[in-house]
Chains A and B, each alone.
Chain A
């Protein structure tokens, strides 16, 4: 199977996330950047599919120079090839532009399966996967907590997480699959993987290489724009549940209210 997985470099979860005040885009320069944690599940699932059915995994990212590290991490984990779409004109792209640009890179790869994760921990829009499927003209199976492929039959079946259980959904190849973090336990790269990654093909593409119209790229061509941002207000005091014999029930009600149980 020809599998493509999208990856993104994001500010480390531990780091304080900020917007660059000059253009209201994510500040990536002053923090440690890592592979989006959710994407690790996508890469792992791509590798599991490849291990089960053979084929090749290509990791694709769009981002500044340093974003190539996200692709490299995927290669270290075991992906076969990497593509890095990198062009100053793409800086400040919104979700639609990002999905459209990724589709331009991914379509010529003729994938059987495109794996995306449900969101990146920086912007947390959670829409690029769906938009990508639309731009590629492919069906999408989202919120997958389990994926089984039947390349011979030309289908992929997923267990789709729902609020109170799961639904089994079948899709025809080629297909975009969105995975959630319950799906697997991402592997840590081995030293052999780290060494091997250096020798794997990694292509850097400009916007022109990908056939992206320069006029449509960047903030000027964006459909959405961040006007203003406020830092998160300081944490409010917690809610104290007083036990008057019904503490357990109150706690359960609180958790249910927050959709935690």
Chain B
């Protein structure tokens, strides 16, 4: 307890990914942000390094690490490029993790090796055009007919579903009515491409330009009955637990972005001069940077603490919500201050801080909005 020093292996992993992010990820970030093209080559190399397999056992092609190792990798990638970091985060914690946690042995053997090697990507379709926060309000339906699930409905803002290497979407759908007329929600695996399943063209987004985000539609989309993931009617509970973990990973992403802003500002404040001396000598600038350091530091401790609880098998819902909330708000704050410190250059897309500023906002929205995190924390306090 009271020691958040990384172990030697964790530190080596962190350093390796830091080096990769500096040498490979950062140099392509501006171009793929401008073009909106998915960074296939970077993802291929990340696959080679085993990043998509970090928290999975070797029998499924994983690296035998844990969820915290994944978070360290996500943080380092996000220091350079959030689009790349979210591709890993969503690929692992939304794409592969539901299969690993709830899949049958057969499903795991069929899908996990491709996902954990990064050769293919899985997506998780929960949010719908009519609502994401109220996930229980799912309208997509699936009915059993002649040994097949017939899926109808649509999903919005889904990450990693429309790339050339996307191979699978896990969708939540209403599969019946339970006791008291409550909707029974289940998760179903849909291999892609698949007849009756369509991905829209990419959204035009404020940030995360190189990350793949699509609207999905299902129209008489038929998959075998065995494609049910986990028990029928457990879909809702299952994805809530997946989202709890995912919040720690999103928190790591926010910390990375907050740290990336800080790195840029420390260097810039020493080198940029106004009135004949470096702007960092003004307290107005130095104090902003001190606050940025404070936020990144506390946010990091928050996700380390949540991950420690999770890996110890203790309840971590509240800690995960706190980490996600604080990190995403810190990311937005740091990005805002960083663009300010960069002055006019901070408004130019060529500068990393401008991209960080556009990439930060979605962290307060995706995988549970800040309001939802506050709801969760309040609920844990019995309110």
- A residues neighboring B (CB under 8 Å): 76, 187-192, 194-195, 198
Contact = CB atoms under 8 A, between A and B. Distances in A.
B64 A187 contact: no
B342 interface: no
A198 B9 contact: yes
B48 interface: yes
Interface residues of B, number: 18
A195 B13 CA distance: 10
A27 to B, nearest CB: 22
A190 B50 contact: yes
B16 A194 contact: yes
A194 B64 contact: no
A2 to B, nearest CB: 26
B54 interface: yes
Interface of B: 9, 12-13, 16, 19-20, 45, 48-51, 53-54, 58, 63-65, 69
A188 B17 CA distance: 8
B80 to A, nearest CB: 14
A194 B13 contact: yes
Contacts of B63: 190-192, 195
A191 B58 CA distance: 11
A66 to B, nearest CB: 14
B64 A189 contact: no
Given A188-B16, A188-B20, A194-B16, 19 more contacts: A76-B12, A76-B16, A187-B48, A188-B19, A188-B45, A189-B12, A189-B16, A189-B49, A190-B49, A190-B50, A191-B13, A191-B64, A191-B65, A192-B50, A192-B63, A192-B64, A194-B13, A195-B65, A198-B9
Contacts of B64: 191-192, 195
B66 to A, nearest CB: 10
Nearest to B65: A191
Nearest to B54: A191
Contacts of A194: 9, 12-13, 16
Contacts of B19: 188
A192 B64 CA distance: 7
A190 B9 CA distance: 11
B9 A195 contact: yes
A191 B9 CA distance: 8
A190 B17 CA distance: 9
Nearest to A72: B12
Contacts of B58: 192
Nearest to B55: A191
30 contacts: A76-B12, A187-B49, A188-B20, A188-B45, A188-B49, A189-B12, A189-B16, A189-B49, A190-B48, A190-B50, A190-B63, A191-B13, A191-B49, A191-B50, A191-B51, A191-B54, A191-B63, A191-B64, A191-B65, A191-B69, A192-B63, A192-B64, A194-B9, A194-B12, A194-B13, A194-B16, A195-B9, A195-B64, A195-B65, A198-B9
A194 B15 CA distance: 11
Q: Which of B9, B12, B64 has the most CB of A within 10 A?
A: B12
Q: Which 4 A-B pairs have the closest CB atoms?
A: A190-B50, A191-B63, A192-B63, A188-B49
B263 to A, nearest CB: 13
A190 B65 CA distance: 11
A16 B330 CA distance: 33
Nearest to B48: A187
Contacts of B12: 76, 189, 194
Nearest to B23: A188
B198 to A, nearest CB: 36
Contacts of A189: 12, 16, 49
A194 B9 CA distance: 6
Nearest to A77: B16
Nearest to A185: B45
B146 to A, nearest CB: 44
Nearest to A73: B12
